[in-house]
Amino acid sequence: MNKEERVFLEHFVDNMESKGLTIKTVHISFSEEELKVINEKYKTSITLEKMREVLNKLLSHEYLKRAYLNGDNFSGLELTLKGLGIVNSLRSKEEMKKKRKLLKKISDYVEDHKGIFLVLGFLIT
């Protein structure tokens, strides 16, 4: 999941949690004004065209669904259980990553950059 997709899902969950609502009661209509709010809140620079592309992808993967049909394709969207699960999973993963011990962080760093260490080891020998 890329950053833009995550931002839109996070926006739903943040709205839901800040107001004490459930996924069935949070409906968001995405317009230029809503996009400005999202760009300011999440410090992004998503364009209107990119927003349409991302929302279509989220709808096709069933992370979002249309609560009601209106003239605009992106009016009255609501989060699905699948979308909520993705956000909760990503948040949990980040929380676990923050709580790692120093040795685990070093181990993960080496694992992520093993190609560089392999080349350095080859050059040293």
Q: Output the pTM of the full model.
A: 0.78
Task: Write the CB contacts of 73 (distance below 8 Å, at least 6 apart in sequence).
Answer: 52, 55, 56
Q: How far apart are CA 22 and CA 27, in angstroms?
A: 10
| pLDDT tens string 15-55 | 999 999 999 999 999 999 999 999 999 999 999 999 999 99
Q: How far apart are CA 36 and CA 77, in angstroms?
A: 17
| pLDDT tens string 71-118 | 667 888 999 999 999 999 999 999 988 888 888 888 878 788 787 777
